């Protein structure tokens, strides 16, 4: 039984799930806003917020931690540390906003837009 297991599985194995989160996080960081399902948006939000919080330190160790979480995408890490973290310097969390949009016509899942505040 899955009592009190809070992570969403998405019907995928662990490596596929990690790849999904990384690609959603990269798209959000690059474009600032993405349209996805509500469950995926709720899962990627805290992932990206933790990256920005670590990026506020700006140290080499923080940069390496972000690289490890993103799978080695250096241009994404630079955008987090150089652009996004200074933008939210005065803010203590809550960097993303999830807006429910509509039900998808194909499969009935609720779609949502996740964007930076």
Task: Report the 3 state secondary structure along the chain.
Answer: CCCCCCCCCCCCCHHHHHHHHHHHHHHHHHHCEEEEEHHHHHHHHHHHHHHHHHHCCCCHHHHHHHHHHHCCCHHHHHHHHHHHHHHCCCCCCCCEEEEEEEECCCCCCEEEEEEEC
Residues 6+ apart with CB under 8 A from 105: none
**Two tokens, residue 48:** 């990206």
Q: What is the pLDDT of residues 42-92, one digit of tens each?
A: 999 999 999 999 999 999 999 999 999 999 899 999 999 999 999 999 999
pLDDT for residue 109: 82
Structural domains in the chain, sorted by start? 14-116 (3.90.1030.10)
pTM to 2 decimal places: 0.91
Beta bridge partners of 112: 36, 100
User: Is 90 exceeded by the pLDDT of residue 1?
Assistant: no
pLDDT for residue 5: 82
């Amino acid at each position: 039984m899955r009592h009190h297991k809070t992570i969403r599985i998405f019907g995928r194995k662990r490596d596929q799930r990690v790849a999904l989160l990384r690609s959603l996080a990269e798209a959000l960081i690059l474009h600032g806003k993405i349209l996805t399902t509500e469950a995926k948006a709720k899962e990627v939000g805290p992932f990206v917020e933790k990256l920005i919080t670590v990026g506020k330190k700006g140290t080499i160790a923080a940069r390496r931690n972000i690289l490890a979480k993103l799978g080695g995408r250096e241009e994404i890490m630079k955008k987090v540390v150089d652009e996004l973290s200074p933008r939210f310097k005065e803010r203590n969390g809550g960097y993303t906003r999830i807006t429910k949009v509509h039900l998808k016509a194909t499969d009935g899942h609720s779609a949502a837009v996740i964007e930076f505040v």
